[in-house]
Amino acid sequence: ALDDGTGYHAVASANANIALIKYWGKADEALIIPRMSSLSLTLADLETTTSVSFDRSGRRTGHDRLYIDDSEREGKALQRVSALLDVVRDMAGMDADAVVSSHNTMPYEAGLASSSSAFAALAAAASHAAGLQLDERELSRLARRGSGSACRSVYGGMALWHAGHDDASSYAEHIDCPLDLAIVVILVSGEQKKIPSREAMRRSVQTSALYDAWVRSGADDLEQALEAVKLGDVARLGAIVQSNSLGMHATMMTARPPVMYWLPGSVAALQAVDEVRQGGLNAWATMDAGPNVKVLTTQREAARVEHDLRAALPGFEVHSHVAGPGVRLRT
Ligand code: 2P0
């Protein structure tokens, strides 16, 4: 932390990650302990940079300030940031208001507004500004308190989030991957979703008759995905990834009331991915809490997959991403 005389300041960057084996549902809502372990790939280009300054000169007012892409935010966004800052203040035994400023550097209007990069960058900047020296596991646990998927963005490339059963045992770690994977994003819509993923997963857990079955098959999917990674078998990995995502969406569609993130363009994109794969390329679809389709492929094939998808889906933006770095402090 840099002490400029009035307070403590740090800046950190993190990249968004896409789950290959999904996290969908909490066992503990307050601590964000998931019902299942998950596996992800952190992506290049989709980056959040966040600065945190604790004001130690004035009296604590109990009000932090938050700026996202230079516009001040209040309400829910500020509440979630302040809640994570409270965890940090508690750990550091400090009581100071903070100013948080966050910039997203996305190469296009992503519609992938990911809390994963945001809370990983916030956890790193805030803990450092508070003078805490956390190791990667501790940082992953802290990021998890802000947003579950953020615990995986601490790491570059592939990460495995162990569900665990309490705060200490629920964290992510890096997984070595012999495959050079890439993700091609098909932008179906950049609009903000009407149902936040937090609410959507709660509804799936509480009301979908398929939920327990999905948790069981998810455990099996993870085991098989890790085996495929170890063997360097991208086709085997891709088939599991695609099926796992569809299973997650089945729990949403069977929730009451249902959660349906799919748009007509999502179905068109899924069909185009099938056609590209039938043309002989590795291309496996996965979807998150929104209408966009992400395609797992290899770095070697990414340009061709991108090209074929653009041809099949005129009017859709298509962008490919290689694996990106883990969280890092800036000076
Ligand atoms: C994932 N998603 O594994 C899953 C797949 C979306 C679909 O994690 O409530 O923002 O903050 O823990 O991490 C998105 O949910 O939710 C997510 P909280 P988060 O990437």
Q: State pLDDT tens for residues 41-71.
A: 999 999 999 999 999 876 688 899 999 999 9
Q: Give the model's pLDDT for residue 192.
A: 78
Mutation test residue for ligand 1: of 17, 32, 114, 147, the one with most atoms within 8 Å of CB: 147
pLDDT at 272 over 60: yes
Q: Within a domain: residue 329?
A: no
170 CB within 6 A, ligand 1: no
- Domain end (from 154, 178, 202): 178
Q: Within a domain: residue 327?
A: no
Do 224 and 79 sit in the same domain of this protein? no
Do 150 and 294 sit in the same domain of this protein? no
What does each C-alpha distance from 47 to 1, 178, 218 come to in angstroms?
Answer: 22, 24, 28
* 150 within 8 A of 120, measured Cβ to Cβ: yes
Enter the tokens of residue 9: 């300041």
**What percent of the chain shows pLDDT beyond 90?**
90
Which residue's alpha carbon is nearest to atom 12 within ligand 1?
148
CATH number of the domain encompassing residue 122: 3.30.230.10
Distance from Cα 198 to the centre of ligand 1, integer Å: 7
Q: Give the model's pLDDT for residue 210.
A: 98
Which residue's alpha carbon is nearest to atom 11 within ligand 1?
147
Q: Give the model's pLDDT for residue 57.
A: 78
Q: Give the model's pLDDT for residue 58.
A: 63
Residue 5's pLDDT band, with cuts at 50, 70 and 90, is: low
Concatenating the DSSP letter of every residue in 52-88 gives: EEEE-SS---S--EEEETTEEE-HHHHHHHHHHHHHH
53 CB within 6 A, ligand 1: no
**What percent of the chain shows pLDDT beyond 70?**
96
Instruction: Name the pairing type of β-strands 171-175 and 158-162.
Output: antiparallel
CATH number of the domain encompassing residue 239: 3.30.70.890
Enter the tokens of residue 292: 């966009």
Q: Within a domain: residue 330?
A: no
Q: Give the model's pLDDT for residue 7.
A: 63
Q: Within a domain: residue 192?
A: yes
- Domain end (from 178, 193, 222): 178
Distance of alpha carbon 241 from alpha carbon 22, whole angstroms: 9
Q: Within a domain: residue 328?
A: no
* 301 within 8 A of 264, measured Cβ to Cβ: no
Q: Give the model's pLDDT for residue 106.
A: 80
Question: Which residues lie across from 297 on neighbouring strands?
Answer: 182
Do 145 and 223 sit in the same domain of this protein? no
Do 81 and 229 sit in the same domain of this protein? no
161 CB within 6 A, ligand 1: no
Distance of alpha carbon 283 from alpha carbon 236, whole angstroms: 11
Mutation test residue for ligand 1: of 201, 202, 204, the one with most atoms within 8 Å of CB: 201
What domain count does the chain have? Answer: 2
Do 195 and 162 sit in the same domain of this protein? no
The ligand 1 atom nearest the CA atom of 119 = 11
Mutation test residue for ligand 1: of 22, 23, 43, the one with most atoms within 8 Å of CB: 23
Do 89 and 218 sit in the same domain of this protein? no
- Domain end (from 178, 213, 245): 178
Q: Give the model's pLDDT for residue 114.
A: 79
Do 29 and 173 sit in the same domain of this protein? yes
Residue 109's pLDDT band, with cuts at 50, 70 and 90, is: low
- What's the domain range around 13? 2-178
Work out the mean pLDDT of the chain and round it to a whole number. 95
pTM over 0.80: yes
